[in-house]
A and B are shown apart, each in its own frame.
Chain A
Amino acid sequence: MTRKIFVRLALVPAISILATLALVSIAGAIWFALMNRTLRSPEYEFVGAYNFLRLLRDSRFFNALEISALWELITVTGTLGLAVLLSVLIYETVQKPLWRNVICFAFLVPVLLPRVAAAFIWRFMYSPSLGVINYLCGLVGIGPVEFLADPSLALISVAVVDIWQWGLFFTVIVLKLMETLPRDPIEAAMLDNARRWEIHAYVTLPMLKGPLVSLALVKAVESLRSFDLIFVMTGGGPGKATETLDLYAYQMGINMGGRISYASAMSLLLLVVTTIAFTVIWKAGKKWAA
């Protein structure tokens, strides 16, 4: 068996399955977005850009767009902020490798949980009548707080769960990255009598700028798939306070009469945004790797 045949046999099945499935779903989304197809009736016809034009006049779509943008902003900054803060804290206060490992293990647990499970765990704790958090709030004289039923709190409350899962995970990554940094610049700064926080703000964190930006972009793309968490915790409610784009597309495509074409137009939009973000990540990653 020559090299060429081996490479072909190894690559072609995997790549052709992936390419077929990807092509079918993208071509399908474009095709359906140009029709007026619904799940209810078998008949449909070509309507051109009608679905896209209607999106522009759909206030619920713009609400979903706004919620998605807000969700991105809160979860990405929250996750990265928490990760940087905690990793510096652990780096400074925990020196024994054993304890560092214990903390890393504990911090990895939340991200491994299925989103559905994390959602239930926190719904249980947020519950106004029997949740632990409201019990603690009661001890200091607040509450009961309707974390998931109050429109002004619901999005933040769900975002806390996302940050709990990803912020702790990224803390472990940033800590591991800090451990691999060369010691010389840090020791030089210490000789100059720099304060602890100054060393991190001006020496270690700038050295990690590349990986931190990559992590932020990875989280940004990951945050776009928030469906599981929000679906189980609030279902998009109260009202439309937590309805992100993928939730709205799901409601349109499945629940509300199965308006497949309209939902396709929306998911295409999401696809374009994700692809652009992803291409930027890839290019940036190549640049830093070089």
Chain B
Amino acid sequence: MPKDSGIGASSKRREDVRFLTGKGKYTDDMNVEGQAHCYILRSDVAHGTLDSVDTSAAADMPGVRGILTGEDFVEVGGLPCGWQVTDRFGEPMQEPKHPVIAHGKVRHVGDPIAVVVADTLAEARDAAEAIDVSITELSAVVDMAAALADGATKVHDDLTNNLCYDWGFVEENKDAVDEAIKGAHHVTTLELVNNRLVANPMEPRVAIGDYDASTNDHTLYTTSQNPHVIRLLMGAFVLGIPEHKLRVVAPDVGGGFGSKIYHYAEEAIVTVASKQFGCPVKWTSSRSEAFMSDAQGRDHVTKIELAMDENGKFLALRTDTMANMGAYLSTFSTCVPTWLHGTLMAGNYTTPLIYCNVKAVFTNTVPVDAYRGAGRPEATFQLERVIDMAAREMGIDPIELRMRNFVQPDQFPYQTPVAVVYDTGNYQGTMAKLLEVVDRDGFAARKAASAANGKLRGFGVASYIEACGIAPSSLVGALGARAGLYESATVRVNATGSISVMTGSHSHGQGHETTFAQVVSDMLGIEENAVEIVHGDTAKIPFGMGTYGSRSLAVGGSAMVKATEKIIKKATKIAAHLMEAAEVDVEFKDGQFSVAGTDKSVAWGEVCLAAYVPHNYPLEEIEPGLEESAFYDPANFTYPAGAYACEVEVDPDTGKVEICSFAAADDFGNVINPMIVEGQVHGGLAQGLGQALLENTVYDENGQLLTGSFMDYAMPRADDLPSFEVDHSSLTPCTHNPLGVKGCGEAGAIGSPPALVNAVIDALADKGVVHIDMPLSPSRVWAAMNQAG
């Protein structure tokens, strides 16, 4: 019997009412009294020396309040990178300065050159056209292999070369891995590209700077997944504004998918401009600007080798990857191909020896950073593709080959050879659940029916594991993170018993206002509607690290649970006093405190009122009021896992792939709101299938972005996708957080690309096709079919 409220209920989302009636308050919907607008003139070449920027004519244009160039930011810090990676030889990565506005050189199409502040956006844009920019174009570095070649043009003149780092993991395993591969019965080798993507949340980024000269207070309204992180990065590292003088507000945010984690130049620009020109300043990105200024995702080129014995038992795995950083190091760019990628190379399997080499490369392209999944999709894709290829080469059924190598249910906690310890899981269980959902036995008949219609049908599966609930601070600190990755929450019980929860997690589509309220109301035995979730404003919330890496419930929710437990503890003391009972004898259930074995009881509301009207109160023992805060730092990552299946039909005449069905069986641990969890999976699947089938970010040899709008970049539309079968009933609760939850936001985007590609390769196997790089566009599929064999 499904519950109708609290933990486990598909409560309808309270935030929907404002979004469905046009009353959502996104940053661009905000207008601060007296505000001016700014337009950012960006580089239209990928690489060049910035010889001069003459703003004199533009400064006299109608409505112009002022103009900023790179000169205005020479004295301030660059946009910081939050993670220092140490290379194979113990040396720190090469870390160039990322100027807020380009100075001396431009390094990618879209690099900011000048900012015009004017009364209206149209006036700012008109004036920007009058700025005279002189650039001497240099040859652009676009291809990663060419960027690493001797004598390649350097993106940053002050660095040794274009190699950010050469990372090996686990370096001590390298020789043993080489040995095992040399002596193995069979080695399957696959070279592949993990295509570059643009996150494209539907709301473009916006920033409004508002400086109050009378108090020296700065306010920044911004489209961020983590306002406190922006306050810290911009305040401490870029502009030197102390935290008590900088408020960052991220109101309703229209999707993020990683791209709104990072501290961006525009946030510093509007903050400086507001102070300099004496008015609030608003910047609104166009979609075209987003394509050349939002951090992009993926872009790995990998060679993977899997060694097996004669039974298909995995013996060793070796990978060699080039990871594109773009022109500068975005906030978390450096940890994505390393600690969020190499540590996941064991997948769901017991491969005993793993070595992963990653070379991070500077190119004259837009910076690359985490995008939904961040490193884990790249790990999963190569692993699940090479396993499918190995199954075919060894003549073993691909599901059987996975089953033979899965970590067994009795092996948890499982120490992988790549540092992380999986606390719990049941990979056979999710695979079995998947096979219940899909009719694999009927596939042969469906394939025959497709063939009768002249179509090629294929079936593919993939397993995945991810590390979520990011992250134990001491661990990530040892690995180079320049931040702690805990979360905080404050639970404020109001005098009449309603609750305000201040959380450092940020909701931009995930429905925290509903889910978090379900948890707290369940713990206190009160109505969900009596709990209000407050997020997205550094002035209202003590601290926070924000929302990414499927961490909100596992980390932020755990902080909330800890704070609520403190509330219950204090309220129990108050109740014991009111009932003249010993604290140990007081029970709290369904919003009622009672003394065991008696008819004494007091209601939640009476206790709350007593806390604020302490006429009869143990003042010598406890303070009045009922408000508690907690910080929660996780003991381990969480490890959601699952198995996905995809069935496709390929038109051999055109190469067009149609997704006939897609099924997902996930283990997210315990689930608070099944409706929301399933929605998260649907969205992740669409992004993963978009990567596999449609999306690609293309630069030409001069570094020009060819896919710079929705006209050229193929976003998945409703008629590109099927309805999905999703199941999360085969679950193993996380063992180290109080809710037993693992996180569900990224799974769909991680598991779906290999499932789809495996299905297409299955359809084309008879044609001799063994691999096609994503996206599997009709032209690529057609070419592969007609070149193979």
The answer to whether A binds B is no
